[in-house]
A and B are shown apart, each in its own frame.
Chain A
Amino acid sequence: MTEIFGVPVSLLLGQLLLGLLNGTTYAMLSLGLAVIFGLMDEVNFAHGAFFMMGAMFAWMGGQYFHLSFWWMLLLAPLLVGLVGLLVERLMLRRLRGMDPIYGLLLTFGLALLIEGLFRTFFGVSGSPYNPPELLSGVLNLGFMYLPLYYVFAMVASVVVCFGTWLLIERTKLGSYLRAGTENPSLVQAFGINFPLLVMLTFAFGSALAGLAGVLSAPIVQVSPLMGSNLIIVVFAIVVIGGMGSVMGAIVSGLALGVIEALAKVVYAPISSTVVFILMAVVLTVRPAGLFGKEK
């Protein structure tokens, strides 16, 4: 299993492509986390639960209201964003100025609660969620057959990631955000409604997780546990990229997906731990992460 040169090129290319796809999911999730952390210094442990809710909402929309994938692609992130908004407004805001550990505990508790609720109603078994008719075809790439939906999910995630980056780095709203990260009280002194900004940012980060959930739904089984399986990896990616760094989150998300895929080809058993090995290495060499600034 360890030979590198014995691996057929088609297998390598195929795995890399799938790795890149996983990478876009990672990127979108770590992006949401990074945006929230950047502005609020808040580690949102409920992020995995928001991801799961996005997927479950998509499934529920189809199951109970016969809403198509496209409708749910729009509605599910909005709903998850709304949940995020309420969480910030009603709970997290009360913890501002306190030790971040309180926020961490709150969101962790919320994650357990949300997952528990969904488990009670839907069990732990996955339900299949089919891709829309339009994207149910298969693409023949020569070295592999790739379901059309995978291409769509990959492109959509990349567009959203870089759109977010542009929003934060290149617009006025983004500049408020970045200023708020540096010095909240000064920003407020300039007449910007900072609490509103924080609330919307948290909602936006949550919506990103929800969107990642909807996009993942047709690829993996929709299940109440899908978030908790993924979130630990995503946290490691955020640490590797640098807490709060938007570009760091996107790049390390994509890179880690590819590295995982390579590991699968070279030595399969290590593919699920390679992220954590890298995290340990990065923490020793650059404690602030690859793209993070020392504070």
Chain B
Amino acid sequence: MKFRHVALAAVLTLGFATAAQAQVKGPVKIGFITDMSGVYSSLDGPGGTAAIKMAIHDFGGSVLGRKIELVTFDHQSKADLAAAKAKEFFSQDGVDMLIGGTNSGAMLAIEPLAAQYKKPFIVIGAGASTIVGKQCNGYTSLYAYNTTALARVTAGAVIKHGGRSWYFLTADYAFGKALEVDATKVVEADGGKVLGHVMAPLGASNFSSYMLQAQASGADVLALANAGGDAANSIKQATQFGVTKKMKLAGLLLFITDIHSVGLPAAQGLYLTAPWYWNLNAESRAWSKRFYAQMNAMPSFSQAGDYSAALSYLKAVKAAGTTDGAKVMAELHKMKVNDMFIHNGSMRPSGLMIHDMYLMQVKTPAESKEPWDYYNVVQTVPGNEAFGPAAAYGCPLDK
């Protein structure tokens, strides 16, 4: 009994000693919390981890003379799990910054913790504009895209091509609702009409009854305010149930991994908005080839975004000469970002990264020249036009 107590005390002391030491000289730690196994895992997940590791490698593996380390966590699309782990990362594990993956609900739950612990939190995979809305806090950045930009660019394009009346199939949580609200604004501002909506739970997998409801609405456009596996399944089932015979589909958030799983015959002609595409230019192609060698799939824009976020953070740490959250954030706000992923990027005070977005159209099977050759770039939309005026977000820091 006594021996056990002594042993326990020894272990605890040693543990504390190493923890204390870690704070002084240990590695710079990057945390990555995303969906590693659920509906959103193919568009971010393990591929995102690989991308961040590439960034650490490309940066040389160390910064300010300290090794760079990556710790990851699978939040399983559960907001409570995500928040609990983020808290542990910040308060116990000495994580210096956090890259947020998919699922806006989970990211909104983490956001206040970033401010509480004064650690940079860069959100990539999730896109609810509310992240940089009223609850913006100076430590959180929405870096790759958001629902406002998706709605403005995609909905604008679809209306221009004759889709006047809309019906929404919406993912029943923060992201889907934000996307629907943003798209509704655009549709109504451009003189279109929204006839109704149906909410489907995340990961519903069988959308057949929702398809019937959409068909019965008589709208021109079925807008998919969902993402990942859900979007892929909705497109497949919309084709199966003959929805596409009378209605046009508008995928408000589509990743290339979704198009890959749906296949071109069902996805051809779809308009979509993205901040990046692997086949955009020589630089993106070179990076994607490296990614492909590891993951056996082309990177989605969120995976490329994970890479860029890690790289920008490390550059900011180097420039600031410290990992102190406030100072690094100040550096990030000052930086002009131009890398493999971001073109003409600069951060608004709210934390929203403004950069060029692209309107794409999915190629027909005949147009596609090689595997993963899926998009035609229809238009490059400058950042401020895509993301819209700062006032619309309602972040107090923007004023």
Interface residues on A, range: 20 to 34
Q: Which residue in A8, A124, A220 is a CB contact (below 8 Å) of B76?
A: A124
- Nearest CB of A to B312, in Å: 29
Interface residues on B, range: 20 to 34
Contact of A221 with B242 in the complex, beta carbons under 8 Å: no
Q: How far is the CA of A14 from the CA of B216 in the complex (A)?
A: 10
A128/B216 contact (C-beta < 8 A), A123-B37, A220-B206 known: no
Across-interface contacts of B242 in A (CB, < 8 A): 138, 140, 144-145
Which of B208, B236, B245 has most chain A Cβ within 10 Å?
B208
Contacting A at CB under 8 A, from B189-240, are 198, 203, 205-206, 208-209, 212-213, 215-216, 229, 233, 236, 240
Contact of A124 with B37 in the complex, beta carbons under 8 Å: yes
Across-interface contacts of A89 in B (CB, < 8 A): none
Contact with A along B239-250 (1 / 0, CB 8 A): 011100100000
Decide yes or no whether A91 CB sits under 8 A from chain B: no
Decide yes or no whether A109 CB sits under 8 A from chain B: no
Across-interface contacts of B170 in A (CB, < 8 A): none
Contact of A15 with B229 in the complex, beta carbons under 8 Å: no
Contacting A at CB under 8 A, from B324-348, are none
Contact of A264 with B209 in the complex, beta carbons under 8 Å: yes
Decide yes or no whether A171 CB sits under 8 A from chain B: no
Interchain Cβ contacts within 8 Å, total number: 64
- Nearest CB of B to A266, in Å: 12
Decide yes or no whether A125 CB sits under 8 A from chain B: yes
Which of A140, A145, A223 has most chain B Cβ within 10 Å?
A145
Contact of B209 with A221 in the complex, beta carbons under 8 Å: no
Q: How far is the CA of A10 from the CA of B215 in the complex (A)?
A: 10
Across-interface contacts of A18 in B (CB, < 8 A): 208-209, 212
- Nearest CB of B to A212, in Å: 14
Contact with B along A35-46 (1 / 0, CB 8 A): 000000000000
Across-interface contacts of B233 in A (CB, < 8 A): 128, 221
A11/B212 contact (C-beta < 8 A), A145-B240, A221-B229, A268-B198 known: yes
A-B contact list, 16 entries, CB within 8 Å: A8-B216, A10-B215, A11-B213, A11-B215, A14-B212, A18-B208, A124-B38, A126-B205, A138-B240, A144-B212, A144-B241, A145-B245, A146-B241, A219-B208, A223-B205, A264-B209
Which of A124, A126, A223 has most chain B Cβ within 10 Å?
A124
Across-interface contacts of A256 in B (CB, < 8 A): none
Contact of A147 with B209 in the complex, beta carbons under 8 Å: no
Contact of A147 with B212 in the complex, beta carbons under 8 Å: no
Contact of B205 with A221 in the complex, beta carbons under 8 Å: yes
Decide yes or no whether A261 CB sits under 8 A from chain B: yes
Contact of B241 with A125 in the complex, beta carbons under 8 Å: no
A125/B39 contact (C-beta < 8 A), A138-B240, A144-B215 known: yes
Across-interface contacts of A144 in B (CB, < 8 A): 212, 215, 241-242
A10/B216 contact (C-beta < 8 A), A125-B39, A221-B229, A221-B233 known: yes
Closest to B201 in A: A272
Closest to A14 in B: B212
